[in-house]
Amino acid sequence: MRTPTRGTASRTGKCKKGSKETEVTEFVLQGPDRMVSVREVFGIDTDLKVPAFAEREDHVPDIDDAYRFNPDVTLAILAGFSRDRRVMVQGLHGTGKSTHIEQVAARLNWPCVRVNLDGHISRLDLVGKDAIVLRDGLQVTEFQEGIVPWALQRPVALIFDEYDAGRPDVMFVIQRILERDGKFTLLDQNRVIHPHPWFRLFATSNTVGLGNLSGMYHGTQVLNHAQIDRWNIVATLNYLPHDEEMAIVLARVPAKNDDRGRKLISAMVTVAELTRKGFAAGDLSTLMSPRTVITWAENCEIFRDPALAFRLSFLNKCDEAERPIVAEYYQRCFGTELDESWMRAPGAQ
């Protein structure tokens, strides 16, 4: 492990935070300058210590006190930060993969940049391009770095979100930096960039580059396995046990944290678990994620009606042919028939 070091600011620039653009000094710290206990910071029963920054700067994500960490995935991400491992977090939608990495970075005060990959991200976006800029009142052509060389030269955690949605030909741009100490060549500049000692690389995906096998993730790509093989650690983050998922929802919607609210949230999570079992059995083509349960609970606060909130949060997203099945799940947990139920269909009696 490299020894944490402290440095000085390298340049100034503009950073947008919310809708406000401010002048900021980039990276007062050139490397972590302290070690923190994993047990104290993340509540995981281990004696490990990891490097962290003592000071925060504008690229550090905000801390979400309500976020709950999965121990195994947290240790995998911490290995990426402390041991310079390339870490991919894979799992179904709504499980908090990108947020998990951001929240680890937030507690380490580690600058973090999240890039959402899609079919329109090009090589120029990642590497950089020539642009016309004003210098002393004159228009000149100047090379502007893309996000990859920019992050590579700084103590930044670069997160490729929805990694399997990136075009395979474009993703080969980062092939070299997936290797430890991998250098990056800027062909336009005839320059080779050496990675900063505290640069870190992460990714999240739904399919691990295998394509849309389940039918849920249209737009994902089949990625080259030689590139997938370069990721040192692949952690899986899927849905949590009942009590842990309840705790997350209650943390997000604290107004429900009483006896009546906990009973309601427990029933909501049970409905979500039934949709996941139905999806696994092939009865449903969609399922409820923890994000959907949180949305349902929040909508309950707005409409004061669990059935209406359920319809608006999830049921209307389902195929019409599958809505009676979902309505049956709701009836099992709440004891109430929805309008979409088979029991309410004409001729059901």
SS (H, E, C) the chain: CCCCCCCCCCEEEEEEECCEEEEEEECCCCCCCEEEEHHHHHCCCCCCEEEECCCCCCCCCCCCCCCCCCHHHHHHHHHHHHHCCCEEEECCCCCCHHHHHHHHHHHCCCCEEEEECCCCCCHHHHHEEEEEEEECCEEEEEEEECHHHHHHCCCCEEEEECHHHCCHHHHHHHCHHHCCCCCEEECCCCEEECCCCCCEEEEEECCCCECCCCCCCCCCCECCHHHHCCCCEEEECCCCCHHHHHHHHHHHCHHHCCHHHHHHHHHHHHHHHHHHHHHHHCCCCCCCCHHHHHHHHHHHHHHCCHHHHHHHHCHHHCCHHHHHHHHHHHHHHHCCCCCCCHHHCCCCC
Pick the closest to residue 156 from 219, 217, 114 (CA basis). Answer: 114
- 49 and 119 assigned to the same domain: yes
What's the confidence (pLDDT) of residue 185? Answer: 79
- 210 and 253 assigned to the same domain: no
User: What pTM was computed for the model?
Assistant: 0.79
- 15 and 67 assigned to the same domain: yes
- 164 and 22 assigned to the same domain: yes
Residue with tokens 């990714």: 203
346, with CB counted inside 10 A (0-12, 13-18, 19+), is exposed
Domain count, the chain: 2
* Lookup: tokens for 117: 């990959």
Q: What residues make up the domain containing 279?
A: 242-344
Could you tell me which residues come within 8 angstroms of residue 274 by beta carbon, excluding any fewer than 6 positions away? 329, 332, 333
**How many residues are there in the chain?**
349
* Lookup: tokens for 35: 């070690």
- 139 and 52 assigned to the same domain: yes
CA 251/CA 256 separation, integer angstroms: 9
19, with CB counted inside 10 A (0-12, 13-18, 19+), is exposed
Of 203, 236, 269, which marks where a domain is finished?
236
Q: Does residue 6 form part of some domain?
A: no
Of 215, 236, 257, which marks where a domain is finished?
236
What's the confidence (pLDDT) of residue 207? Answer: 79
CA 88/CA 157 separation, integer angstroms: 13
pLDDT in tens, the chain (349 residues): 555 554 434 444 444 444 444 333 455 458 899 999 999 999 999 999 999 999 998 999 999 888 888 899 999 999 999 999 999 998 877 778 899 999 999 999 999 999 988 777 888 888 888 777 888 888 888 777 888 899 999 999 999 988 887 777 777 888 878 876 778 878 777 788 888 999 999 999 887 666 555 556 655 667 777 788 889 999 998 888 899 899 989 998 999 999 999 999 999 999 999 999 998 888 888 889 888 999 999 999 999 999 999 999 999 999 999 999 999 999 999 999 998 876 555 555 5
Q: Does residue 123 form part of some domain?
A: yes
CA 146/CA 167 separation, integer angstroms: 17
- 179 and 193 assigned to the same domain: yes
- 187 and 264 assigned to the same domain: no
Of 236, 254, 283, which marks where a domain is finished?
236
Q: Does residue 4 form part of some domain?
A: no
